[in-house]
Structure 1
Amino acid sequence: MDKNDKVIQAAKLYYLLDCTQNEIAKKLGVSRPTVSRMLQTAKREGIVQIKICEKADRLTDLEADLEQKYGLKKAVVASVGQYEDHVIKTTIGLKAAEYLDSIVGDDDIIGVTWGTTIYHVAVELKKKQVNNVQVVQLKGGISLSEKNTYVSEILYLFGKAFNASPHYLPLPAIVDNVVVKEAIMADRHIKRVIDMGKRANIALFTCGQIKSDSLLFNLGYFSEEDAGMLYSTAVGDISSRFFDKDGHVCSQSLDERTLGIELEELKKKDYSILVAGGSHKIESIHAALKGEYANVLVTDQYTARFILDK
């Protein structure tokens, strides 16, 4: 029996036959700590998938509480079995795709940002018969890093779902100084895409965390001075625009060097949809809602409870 077979056998004995870890260790001829590691591997690799069935009325109560606390047009709370990033992103991605399908109609302009959360929304989209829909990128996504921002995939999948030709913003999210930004914004093709983002009646985005290993911090945009300032004052970002715990833009100079939609523009959308969940995003979500940058929230039941308690 190879290692993978043992992991599967251990999972079956534990989850299907209710054997203890000591009993499994004896059956497989391994130590009890080894059995514990096998069970963790089984969950991590998807051999075992745990689903907790949350009562629908409990989720509805959470949605109502979120809508009341933050003045939201709509809250969508997904039930996740594990409070882990990949599970959360997959589940809320599906819920956000379903919600988007329910609201998109003829002549809509959909503005989207990039990153792994929005990519999970994009892959769950189903084709919908609508006319004259446009999809536009809300912020630049080019960087010096090899890390994938999923810009091309996201725009392609949104365009495919709504029979639209996507409009790309082939720029970095942040430039070194205001003069460079002003020169870029003088280009009529770039200005046309930026203006389309302003006219979008639907905006879909996530919020980032302030951590050295988060995607935006790994894309080579920040000087040491920028990073130090953000670590000390910011709790999150939307579309590469950073805000503090009260939802206020925390660096005007950095904001002036950022290419893409401004946070104030999000307040004007018919649907300004924040898709986010996970323990590391609680502060960021709360501050974003406090700043009134979203009128729709898609999250999971654990994150919902945490931000309601704040």
Structure 2
Amino acid sequence: MLSHKQTERLLAVSRYYYQDNLSQIEIAKKMNLSRPTVAKSLQLARDTGIVTVQINDPFTDGAKLQQALKEKYHLKDVVIAQQVNHDEAGIRDHLGAVAADYLDTIVTTGMTIGLNWGHTMLAVAQHLHASQAQDVQLVQLKGSLTNSAETNYSAEITQQFNHAFHTQARLLPLPLVFDDAQVKAAALHDPFIQRVVQTGYQADIALFTVGTTRNDALLFRSGYLTADQITTLQRDAVGDILSHYITASGEIADPQLDQRTVALPLSHLGTQKYAVLIAGGEPKLRAIHAALLGKYANVLIVDQAVAKQLLKL
């Protein structure tokens, strides 16, 4: 019978090998073991049932998973990115590639695409292909981090979308959060701003993700929120959509903060022909579930692991 220490070592070796795709030599260096010890550990993990091998036919199981998610959340389309590991950056990259391929299938001449910013959208932008569609419009769906040292990759994302779709995006040159709701309302009355906002309302495609309420969340690091506000959001919210913080059931978590936030209202999200939620990784599971409960998306692009967990919620 294996000791607790032996079991922990087998688990660690197995995760590095099967989930993170490290070679036996890389694992040996990482764990300060010999390569033969790593090989024996992998075999022992198989022999003791710690690791089991299951072959999933993507033409049956994948299709069933997609259909189950469509039915559960009343979605028009579900795309599941292949799971290579549980590294958040790796998951984002695969989601970005899948989302870029999906855009090729839905963007047609004369469409308007609404854009979000952040790490996930950057991954999409980096995988875009030159589109054959003509007269495509791009528009930002929310304000920017104007008073923060943090980068939201907005410039890089816009540049790459402009290049792929042979156009110039309409920017929303306002801060993401105003100190006062009345000041925000006054800014939105500007004729130029109104035209940009109206274009966002009329978008055929909305591309967006969800954020978390972890301490390292971009908006928490931006300086827009006080420590007390962050604590309250971490208690009441599961994440954000276009910087609108939502509860576990998909409702606005802080109405007063929401009135000061410059972004397409959630009441207008989900009405687009394609409201595409692109998100994955276990830390975003609850926020993805809440966004789907709120019916803010009609298309979901997600990784395999989260797709399976969503069905269990």
Q: Structure 2: where are the runs of 5+ without partners?
A: 1-21, 42-53
Cross-structure match for 2:139: 136
Letter in 2 for 1:162: F
Query: What is the SS of the residue equivalent to 1:167?
Result: coil
Cross-structure match for 1:63: 66
Letter in 2 for 1:84: D
TM-score (norm 2): 0.83
Call closer, same or farther: CA 1:216–1:12 in 2, change over 3 Å. Answer: closer
Q: Structure 2: how far apart are the matches of 1:183 and 1:54? A: 56
Query: What is the SS of the residue equivalent to 1:182?
Result: helix
Q: Structure 2: how far apart are the matches of 1:149 and 1:261? A: 17
Call closer, same or farther: CA 1:22–1:120 in 2, change over 3 Å. Answer: closer
Q: Does the 8 Å contact 1:142/1:170 carry over to 2?
A: no
Q: How does 1:240-251 map to 2 (within 5 A)?
A: 240-251=243-254
Q: Structure 2: how far apart are the matches of 1:176 and 1:287? A: 27
Q: Structure 2: how far apart are the matches of 1:22 and 1:86? A: 27
Q: Structure 1: where are the runs of 5+ without partners?
A: 1-10, 27-31, 37-51
Q: Structure 1: how far apart are the matches of 2:204 and 2:105? A: 15
Cross-structure match for 1:165: 168
Cross-structure match for 2:35: 24
Call closer, same or farther: CA 1:281–1:103 in 2, change over 3 Å. Answer: same
TM-score (norm 1): 0.83
Cross-structure match for 1:279: 282
Cross-structure match for 1:6: none
Q: Structure 1: how far apart are the matches of 2:33 and 2:211? A: 42
Letter in 2 for 1:202: I
Q: Structure 1: how far apart are the matches of 2:268 and 2:196? A: 15
Query: What is the SS of the residue equivalent to 1:308?
Result: helix
Q: Structure 2: how far apart are the matches of 1:278 and 1:160? A: 29
Q: Structure 2: how far apart are the matches of 1:92 and 1:12? A: 24
Query: What is the SS of the residue equivalent to 1:127?
Result: coil
Call closer, same or farther: CA 1:272–1:133 in 2, change over 3 Å. Answer: same
Q: Structure 2: how far apart are the matches of 1:269 and 1:239? A: 15
Letter in 1 for 2:126: V
Q: Sequence identity, in percent? A: 37
**Displacement of 1:83:** 1.1
- Which residue of 100, 103, 108 corresponds with 1:100? 103
Letter in 2 for 1:308: L
Cross-structure match for 1:190: 193
Q: Structure 2: how far apart are the matches of 1:168 and 1:23? A: 56
Cross-structure match for 2:49: none
Q: Structure 2: how far apart are the matches of 1:168 and 1:273? A: 20
Q: Structure 2: how far apart are the matches of 1:223 and 1:22? A: 47
Query: What is the SS of the residue equivalent to 1:81?
Result: coil
Q: How many residues align?
A: 275
Q: What is the aligned-residue RMSD (CA, Å)?
A: 2.3
Q: Structure 2: how far apart are the matches of 1:255 and 1:54? A: 44
**Displacement of 1:214:** 0.9
Call closer, same or farther: CA 1:22–1:228 in 2, change over 3 Å. Answer: closer
Query: What is the SS of the residue equivalent to 2:211?
Result: coil
